[in-house]
């Protein structure tokens, strides 16, 4: 993903003006805030981003729900509605057996 983008000159001047006026400490802060507000106002885009990040395994279920501005249960339902199967990680049986044995030894 590129770390720089081309913006129209007027937008660049507006960003500079906001920083110079003291509303933001850096140009980067202006852009981050603008994108955050944009995604917050476009719920479908926040959801699309959350689903895509979750599908790629780049974020957890909880983080994806947070990105989509919804609870985990609601996000699970959205995944189901979109036909996306959740990967449920489980410990291997041998690891679980070792843990049970450790607990029995410790607590009798």
What pLDDT is recorded for position 90? 64
What pLDDT is recorded for position 91? 66
Residue-by-residue pLDDT tens, the chain, 108 positions: 557 889 999 999 999 999 999 999 999 999 999 999 998 899 899 999 999 999 999 999 999 999 999 999 999 999 999 998 886 766 677 888 888 888 889 887
23 lies in a domain?
Answer: yes
60 lies in a domain?
Answer: yes
How many structural domains comprise the chain?
A: 1
**Which residue range(s) make up the domain with 98?**
9-107
29 lies in a domain?
Answer: yes
Report which of 51, 69, 49 is spatially closest to residue 61, judged by C-alpha positions: 51
4 lies in a domain?
Answer: no
2 lies in a domain?
Answer: no
3 lies in a domain?
Answer: no
What pLDDT is recorded for position 96? 81
3-state helix, strand, coil split of the chain in percent (to 5) is 65, 0, 35
1 lies in a domain?
Answer: no
**Prediction pTM value:** 0.64
94 lies in a domain?
Answer: yes
């Amino acid at each position: 993903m590129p770390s720089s983008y081309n913006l129209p000159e007027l937008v660049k001047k507006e960003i500079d003006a906001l920083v110079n006026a003291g509303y933001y400490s850096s140009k980067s802060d202006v852009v981050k805030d603008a994108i955050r507000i944009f995604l917050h106002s476009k719920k479908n885009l926040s959801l699309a981003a959350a689903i895509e990040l979750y599908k790629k395994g780049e974020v957890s279920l909880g983080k994806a729900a947070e990105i989509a501005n919804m609870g985990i249960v609601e996000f699970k339902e959205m995944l189901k509605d979109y036909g996306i199967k959740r990967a449920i990680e489980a410990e291997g049986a041998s690891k679980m057996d070792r843990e049970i044995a450790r607990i029995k030894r410790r607590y009798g």
